[in-house]
Amino acid sequence: MSAAIDKLRLVINAEGRRVDAGIYTGGAWSARETEEGDPVETLASVIRKVLDQSGSDPQDFGEWVYSGGPGSLLGLRSLAMLLSTWEVLLQPGSVQKFRFSGLVWTAREIKRQNPGKPFTLISPWRTNTWNAIVVRDDLPTEDSIQVRDGEIQLEENESLYVLGERFRATPPPKAVPIHLPSFSTLPHHLDTPGFLIETDRVEPRLSGTTEYRKWSPPPGNR
């Protein structure tokens, strides 16, 4: 993706326990805001703050750059609902949409800070199941994300990081817990190859299909 440097871009992350929003144009932030807390509760207020700081309106943007996961589905779906509503009401057919993954962002930032060092980055998906990126020489992309069940196997001298928390997801003993990088680091990656994926609509990235089983009561309760 080669974006014109003067295009007004609304950049939003709602993957974890914070919301980041910013307006990026000409290679710099014209407004930027981060707020800790539940994305459902903070998303609208953070976006409103950056709009007020910059004097912008929703219809001014040529691009939306949005987080698509894997991450908190509640936050990601709230973001998708908000932007989809904007598109219908204010910007029908006029805005380009680009998705990025917080897992890929984190992996690229670790690699940027520690060049040449192999590592695996995981994030919890389901009980004892992980989203994983194994990083060697190439830049990680969405296509690098795998789903791993059970124990994470590492090579000698390979580091293991775990991003995020989830109930009943106990990280491996050697995993180093980390958080999403600072929002200020995102411009290092925005226009690097394979970081952004253009989409027809705003939608989270799913690790796989959730399987549901029919519940049956215990034999003694029938």
Nearest alpha-carbon partner for 20 in 37, 7, 1, 8 = 37
* Segment (H or E) for 75: helix 73-89
Same-domain pairing of 173 and 65? no
Check whether residue 131 and residue 162 sit in a common domain: yes
Q: For residue 126, what are its two tokens?
A: 């389901």
Note whether 45 and 72 are same-domain residues. Answer: yes
Can you tell me the distance from the alpha carbon of 30 to that of 61, in angstroms, rounded to the nearest whole number?
Answer: 13
Within 10 Å of residue 4's Cβ, how many Cβ atoms?
10
Whether the bond into 118 is cis, omega within 30 of 0: no
- First-to-last alpha carbon distance for the chain, in angstroms, is 59
Residues 93 and 188 in one domain: yes
User: What gap in Å lies between CA 37 and CA 48, rounded to an integer?
Assistant: 16
Burial track 74-98 (b if 16+ CB lie within 10 A, e otherwise): ebbbbbbebbeebbeeebeeebbbb
Residues 82 and 109 occupy one common structural domain: no
The reply to whether 57 falls in a domain is yes
Rounded to 5 degrees, what are φ and ψ at 53? -60, -40
Instruction: List the domain range (segments joined by +) for residue 126.
Output: 103-178
Closest by CA to 51, choosing from 30, 65, 36, is 30
Residues 112 and 36 in one domain: no
Give me the helix-helix angle, 73-89 and 39-54, nearest 10°. 40
Per the DSSP assignment, residues forming a β-bridge with 148 are: 130
CATH code (residue 23): 3.30.420.40
Residue 28 sits in the same domain as residue 70: yes
- pLDDT tens digits, the chain, 222 residues: what are they? 444 446 789 999 998 888 999 999 888 999 999 999 888 888 989 999 999 999 988 888 989 999 998 877 788 888 888 888 888 887 666 789 999 999 999 999 999 999 989 999 999 887 778 999 999 999 999 999 999 887 888 888 899 999 986 655 677 888 899 999 999 999 999 999 999 999 988 887 765 444 434 445 556 555
Say whether both 18 and 43 belong to one domain: yes
